[in-house]
């Protein structure tokens, strides 16, 4: 959504009509504050906007009823600077040249929290332990998939000692479940919903070391097939086909199994391309496995719509399908490649994948009733991208830092130069594959606006790293008011179970 901020008189009616799409727009039962008495001497558009935003908060009312459905949106690696840059990029590419007043849809959600992401063995986490925290309610060590921090090979073949996952519990309680991602479905974030693995790397059987094979460990793809809670996960969509197919059939498996064929033999539906996906009947009951690429799906900027559905399309289908179940559903939606673009310090693809994430959230909001559905939007961890310098309003968020020329009222800007006399970009990274050297040529605007440009880094590393800073969480809908303050990442799991009413005595009716 590109929020419109027409200057309006400060009555709540206009404030609400300007934001009918906003998830927090719930009628207040108590007397709403409609007309502030505080006035200012200087009439100003920014005053109006601030006063309007304040009124929206004053008139918020919690949706107290328990959630029937929960949708957890995770943008992998969506640091807080990523949100700010994506908001501006989205505004600038949508015709709002400043971009700074734009809001991503989830930024209009009424409840937010800061989430502490550290793992049990590292200040800076990875995607395995952070997704484990969200999915199981415990923190674990880097690289571990839904197992305890002290657990090892003994969990292989004995799921009963591993922590339960939200998807397992939901299935056990009769809810429908789904997983949608732009990465391999066997990648760390989605894997934590259905698998328990000592290593995130064990995506297909050939990835297991000898001691893991000897201990009876199952690879992550095979665990998706052996998931036996409730009637199984109902919708699984993403990439990673090679981990399901034997090596003599275009896959990576060494054990000769064709997991897609096994899936179909027991009544599942499999789809491998966008046209088969678009022909699916959301009203049909058979579980759906969609594997649209051998490895990860394409970045949004590179996606061929004839080959791969978008994250928004997959999300829409998943909700249409899961909402057939009157017991409700749990759905994980992951924009998994914001992280990959950041690792390459290619801010362009991180921000365009954020737009695809935004579109998926809008697809969900168009389908759900927020009085019975909780939507949580968060990240697993941050990245080192910074948003700095003093770039003038209206300069490209992906461009060189150009400052406003003092005293100019017609928006004149001038390049900002570093101590060596060279320009630099607004977005840069603490480390990564394109370190800024003393002897580099001066950057040009054309060079840095190329979609394949890798932003510069301070420390030379082959791959830019995650960061240890807190991530943001945004919640809307049923019991969204449970989320707030500063919280441990695994607390999100616990609050989701409370929102779903799982901790309350069953009601006879
Ligand atoms: Mg991920
Ligand atoms: Zn990563």
Does residue 287 contact residue 227 with C-beta atoms inside 8 Å? Answer: no
- If one counts every other C-beta atom within 10 angstroms of the C-beta of residue 236, the result is 28
As a whole number of angstroms, the distance between CA 223 and CA 367 comes to 31
Rg (CA), the chain: 24
CA of 448 to the centre of ligand 1 (A): 27
Instruction: Output the CA torsion 234→240→245→246 (10° steps).
Output: -150
Which pLDDT does position 42 carry in this prediction? 92
CA of 466 to the centre of ligand 2 (A): 6
Q: Which residues on neighbouring strands pair with residue 73, listed in sequence order? A: 333, 377
CA of 384 to the centre of ligand 2 (A): 11
- The angle formed by the CA atoms of residues 202, 208 and 212, to the nearest 5 degrees, is 115
CA of 165 to the centre of ligand 2 (A): 22
CA of 63 to the centre of ligand 1 (A): 30
As a whole number of angstroms, the distance between CA 436 and CA 452 comes to 17
Which pLDDT does position 20 carry in this prediction? 39
Which pLDDT does position 23 carry in this prediction? 63
pTM of the model: 0.93
Return the ligand number nearest the Cα of 142.
2
Which pLDDT does position 83 carry in this prediction? 98
As a whole number of angstroms, the distance between CA 140 and CA 150 comes to 8
CA of 278 to the centre of ligand 1 (A): 25
As a whole number of angstroms, the distance between CA 310 and CA 359 comes to 9
Does residue 324 contact residue 176 with C-beta atoms inside 8 Å? Answer: yes
Q: Which residue, 165, 302, 288, 278, is CA-closest to 237?
A: 288
Which pLDDT does position 406 carry in this prediction? 87
Return the ligand number nearest the Cα of 200.
1
Task: Write out the chain's pLDDT in tens, 509 residues.
Answer: 444 333 333 333 333 333 334 565 455 556 667 778 888 899 899 999 999 999 999 999 999 999 999 999 999 999 999 999 999 999 999 977 788 999 999 999 999 999 999 999 999 999 999 999 999 999 999 999 999 999 999 999 888 999 999 999 999 999 999 999 999 999 999 999 999 999 999 999 999 999 999 999 999 999 999 999 999 999 999 999 999 999 999 999 999 999 999 999 999 999 999 999 999 999 999 999 999 999 999 999 999 999 999 999 999 999 999 999 999 999 999 999 999 999 999 999 999 999 999 999 999 999 999 999 999 999 999 999 999 999 999 999 999 999 999 888 778 999 999 999 999 999 999 999 999 998 889 999 999 999 999 999 999 999 999 999 999 999 999 999 999 999 999 999 999 999 999 998 876 55
As a whole number of angstroms, the distance between CA 2 and CA 17 comes to 15
Return the ligand number nearest the Cα of 340.
2
Which pLDDT does position 507 carry in this prediction? 66
Per DSSP, the three-state class of 414 is strand
Which pLDDT does position 6 carry in this prediction? 35
As a whole number of angstroms, the distance between CA 114 and CA 284 comes to 39
Tell me 197's DSSP state: B
Does residue 382 contact residue 393 with C-beta atoms inside 8 Å? Answer: no
Start and end residues for every CATH 3.40.720.10 domain found in the chain: 69-76+106-381+467-499
CA of 203 to the centre of ligand 1 (A): 13
Per DSSP, the three-state class of 83 is helix
CA of 250 to the centre of ligand 2 (A): 27
Which pLDDT does position 506 carry in this prediction? 74
Return the ligand number nearest the Cα of 379.
1
Question: What is the b/e burial string over 404-417, where b = at least 16 CB atoms within 10 angstroms of the residue's CB?
Answer: beeeeeeeebeebe
Per DSSP, the three-state class of 42 is coil
CA of 127 to the centre of ligand 2 (A): 6
Tally of CA atoms within 13 A in the half-sphere of 150 that contains its CB: 1
Return the ligand number nearest the Cα of 181.
1
* Residue 184, CA distances (Å) to 77, 181, 293 in order: 16, 7, 8
> Quick one: CA dihedral 29, 328, 498, 123, positive or negative?
negative
Question: What is the b/e burial string over 460-477, where b = at least 16 CB atoms within 10 angstroms of the residue's CB?
Answer: ebeebbbbbbbbbbbbbb
Tell me 273's DSSP state: S
CA of 207 to the centre of ligand 1 (A): 19
* Residue 93, CA distances (Å) to 72, 101, 195, 302 in order: 27, 13, 39, 17
Is beta strand 373-379 parallel, antiparallel or unpaired with respect to 69-75?
A: parallel
DSSP for 353-404, please give it: HHHHHHHHHHHHHTT--TTTEEEEEEES-EE-EEE-S-PPTTS-TTSB-EEE
Per DSSP, the three-state class of 206 is helix
CA of 340 to the centre of ligand 2 (A): 6
Is beta strand 385-387 parallel, antiparallel or unpaired with respect to 427-432?
A: antiparallel
CA of 193 to the centre of ligand 1 (A): 12
Within 8 A by CB and 6+ apart from 453, the residues are 346, 348, 398, 447
CA of 26 to the centre of ligand 1 (A): 33
> Quick one: CA dihedral 382, 385, 390, 395, positive or negative?
negative
Tell me, yes or no, if 127 is annotated catalytic: yes
CA of 189 to the centre of ligand 1 (A): 4
Return the ligand number nearest the Cα of 384.
2
Does residue 97 contact residue 346 with C-beta atoms inside 8 Å? Answer: no
- If one counts every other C-beta atom within 10 angstroms of the C-beta of residue 94, the result is 13
Return the ligand number nearest the Cα of 343.
2
Q: Which residues on neighbouring strands pair with residue 180, listed in sequence order? A: 237, 333
Q: Which of 79, 119, 127, 199 is catalytic?
A: 127
Return the ligand number nearest the Cα of 342.
2
Pick the CATH number of 69-76+106-381+467-499 from 2.60.40.3080, 3.40.720.10, 2.40.128.110, 3.30.365.10: 3.40.720.10
């Amino acid at each position: 959504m590109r929020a419109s901020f027409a200057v309006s008189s400060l009555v709540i009616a206009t404030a609400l009509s300007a934001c009918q799409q906003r998830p927090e727009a719930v009628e207040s039962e108590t007397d709403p504050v409609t007309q502030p008495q505080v006035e200012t001497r200087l009439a100003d558009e920014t005053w109006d906007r601030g006063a309007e935003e304040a009124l929206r908060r004053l008139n918020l009312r919690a949706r107290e009823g328990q959630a029937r459905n929960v949708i957890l949106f995770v943008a992998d690696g969506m640091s807080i600077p990523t949100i700010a840059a994506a908001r501006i990029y989205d505004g600038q590419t949508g015709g709002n040249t400043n971009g700074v007043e734009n809001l991503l849809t989830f930024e209009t959600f009424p409840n937010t929290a800061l989430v502490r992401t550290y793992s049990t063995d590292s200040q800076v986490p990875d995607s395995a332990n952070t997704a484990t925290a969200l999915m199981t309610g415990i923190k674990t060590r880097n690289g571990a998939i839904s197992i305890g921090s002290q657990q090892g090979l003994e969990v292989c073949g004995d799921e009963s000692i591993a922590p339960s996952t939200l998807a397992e519990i939901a299935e056990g309680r009769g809810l429908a479940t789904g997983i949608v991602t732009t990465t391999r479905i066997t990648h760390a974030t989605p894997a934590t919903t259905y698998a328990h693995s000592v290593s995130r790397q064990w995506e297909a059987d050939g990835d297991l070391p000898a001691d893991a094979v000897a201990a009876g460990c199952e690879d992550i793809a095979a665990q998706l097939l052996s998931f036996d809670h409730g009637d199984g996960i109902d919708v699984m969509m993403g990439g990673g086909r090679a981990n399901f197919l034997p090596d003599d059939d275009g896959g990576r498996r060494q054990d000769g199994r064709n997991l897609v064929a096994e899936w179909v033999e027991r009544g599942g539906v499999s789809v491998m391309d966008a046209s088969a996906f678009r022909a699916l009947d959301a009203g049909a009951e058979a579980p759906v496995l969609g594997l649209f690429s051998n490895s990860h799906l394409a970045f949004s900027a590179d996606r061929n719509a004839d080959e791969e559905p978008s994250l928004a399309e997959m999300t829409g289908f998943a909700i249409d399908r899961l909402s057939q179940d009157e017991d409700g559903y749990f759905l994980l939606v992951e924009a998994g490649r914001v992280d990959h673009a950041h690792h390459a310090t290619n801010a362009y693809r991180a921000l365009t994948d954020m737009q695809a994430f935004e579109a998926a959230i809008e697809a969900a909001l168009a389908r759900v009733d927020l009085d019975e559905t909780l939507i949580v939007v968060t990240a697993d961890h941050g990245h080192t991208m910074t948003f700095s310098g003093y770039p003038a309003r209206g300069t490209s968020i992906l461009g060189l830092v150009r400052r406003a020329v003092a005293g100019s009222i017609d928006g004149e800007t001038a390049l900002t130069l570093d101590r060596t006399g060279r320009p630099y970009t607004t977005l840069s990274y603490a480390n990564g594959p394109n370190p800024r050297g003393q002897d580099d040529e001066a950057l040009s605007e054309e060079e840095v606006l190329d979609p394949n440009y890798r932003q510069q880094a301070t420390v030379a590393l082959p791959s830019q790293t995650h960061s240890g800073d807190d991530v943001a969480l945004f919640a809307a809908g049923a019991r969204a008011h449970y989320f707030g303050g500063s919280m441990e990442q695994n607390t999100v799991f616990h609050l989701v179970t409370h929102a779903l009413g799982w901790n309350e005595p069953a009601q006879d009716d």
